[in-house]
Amino acid sequence: MPLSARPFLAEHFTVARQAVSGRNGIVASQHHLASEIGVEVLEAGGNAVDAAVAAAMALCVVEPWMSGMGGGGFMLVGNAETGQVDEVDFGMVAPNAVDNSHYAIVEGDSGHDALFSWPRVIDDRNQIGPYSVAVPGAVAGLAAAVQRFGSMPWTELVSPAANLASRGLPVAWPATLEIAAGAETLRLFEGSRAVYLPNGLPPVAADAHKPIWLAMGRLSATLTRLAEAGPRDFYEGEIAAAIVYDMQAAGGLMTASDLATYQAEIRPARAIRHRGATIHLTHNFSGGPTFARALQRTAKSLDPSLGVTAPAYLAWAEALQEAFAYRFANLGHAGDMVSRDACTTHLSVVDRDGNMVALTNTLLERFGSRMVLPETGVLMNNGMFWFDPRPGQANSLEAGKRPLANMCPVLATKNGKPWFALGASGGRRIVPAVFQLTSLLTDFGLSLDHAYQVPRLDVSGEAGILADHRLNPAILDALAARFDVTLTYDSAGMEEFAKPQAVLQDGDQQWGAVALALASAKAIAAS
């Protein structure tokens, strides 16, 4: 099969980042301010969970288009003393009042032009605005993790984010690009316009080295209240009442009961033995089952003695293709992803004792529902867009149901100790990214730094594969003989490949790495 290329892409520079090292803990996140806050928690005596929660709360201020209190996700927690790895599931849930009558399908539409192939809903109600909002789980999940595994008071982990919000959103060029990309729909909602388009246009910093700060409405007050009143206030207290007021004023379906009854779930993570290590994954409504299927296939088909050469890439491509085919047929998310505007946050943490966290949180799309709630300043998810609006499908809409998501945090243990924790942002492309990095670390024994430099494939759709243009011609020829291959670049957004954040422990030495093309991302070692 012939190779093709994306002609509109041109690269004239190479981005390179070295992994950071330390011995007292590392935080690797998608924004340097969040990583700094996480490291401050580690240096104050907090453990990996404490640092991860503080960093995640900070990200809802400095990277709000990706994740936040209005979203949901998954966390894996690895205990250095026992080797136990637990999953915290805080996925979003459909409100109890929803049914298919709220999401009428556009007649004659054969597939949406955004993330999924199912028919478009009238007025895009499942994608934008109040009907797109699922019950958020982020606060409940982070709180459950602190209660079960943390060592510091909740208020000390939330207060740094409140302080950040009081200063505002730092706007450098990445933030300007994100806001500009979302401006067309952000302008539809009063609360969103007030925060992100205060002058009717995306903000632009006059000096690239001196960001401006956008006021974030009532977000600082909400975070302060959350720190002082505790996490259940988000679901049953003053914050909950304000959320319900705004949602119902906008015509949404979420009720006080939906919030009050939401609970995060904690369970032992799924475990798979692989090459002398144990790979721990999430269950059910995540990318975990698809990752597991691909990993189990490569355990039989991949020969590490041949090195990271054409046979390895062929084994990866075949395993991922089969795993996604099974996912489409049996779990949902059918069809190819035309748009690659899938946005998520991942962070990984290791503390001085070797405890680890892999945490992924999302709003689903960039800016989620596009709705900032005026009374709280919280940006809400569009998790209802994950559901197939057609009845009788694998991932059909159902009241109180958790939708199938792509998030796929991974935590590996070896010799009874946490070895590495990783995950990524990037929608359906998350699984191929973390799968290949896991293989490079476990099958081939590469260092974290080296693994990050290896060109990757994306095999997450139904129409062939994407291949990094840096791949050796012999590898590309071997792939093209079996697959439709499109050459592409790893760009400075989410477009082509997912963006992973990882930590790893080797003896008493720790390593952290972030996605090469995320400008604001940073791994920071504690002193």
Look-up of token digits 């949404």? 252
**Which residues lie below 8 Å from residue 228, measured CB to CB, with a gap of 6+?**
155
Q: How far is CA 379 from CA 16, 24, 154, 239, 448, in A?
A: 33, 34, 22, 13, 34
Q: How far is CA 62 from CA 57, 66, 160, 175, 289, in A?
A: 9, 10, 12, 9, 31
Alpha carbons 84 and 77: distance in angstroms, whole number? 8
Residue 206 identity (one-letter amino acid): A
Residue 276 has φ and ψ, to the nearest 5°, of 85, 0
Q: Which of 214, 215, 234 is nearest to 223 (CA)?
A: 234
Q: Which helix (H) or strand (E) holds 195?
A: helix 190-196
Token output for 281: 């994954």
Task: Specify the DSSP class assigned to residue 47.
Answer: -
The whole-angstrom separation of Cα 432 and Cα 437 is: 9
The C-alpha atoms of residue 122 and residue 18 are separated, in whole angstroms, by 48
Backbone angles phi and psi of 124, in degrees to 5: 55, 40
SS3 49: helix
Give every CB contact of residue 49 below 8 A, 6+ residues apart in sequence: 77, 145, 146, 149, 150, 151, 349, 355, 357
Q: CA nearest 380: which of 195, 169, 215?
A: 195
Whole-number Å distance between alpha carbons of 349 and 336: 33
The reply to whether 344 belongs to the active site is yes
Catalytic residue among 222, 278, 344, 345: 344
Residue type, 180: A
Interatomic CA distance for residues 395 and 26, integer angstroms: 37
The residues with which 410 forms a beta bridge, in sequence order, are: 422
Q: What angle (nearest 5°) sits at the alpha carbon of residue 347, between those of residues 404 and 461?
A: 40
CB 28 within 8 Å of CB 425:
no
Task: Specify which residues 465 forms β-bridges with.
Answer: 485
| Cα separation, 459 vs 317, whole angstroms | 6
Residue 235 to residues 238, 240, 434, 469, Cα–Cα distance (Å): 9, 5, 33, 48
Q: Which of 444, 460, 253, 439 is nearest to 342 (CA)?
A: 460
CA distance 484 to 441: 27
Which residues are known to be catalytic?
344
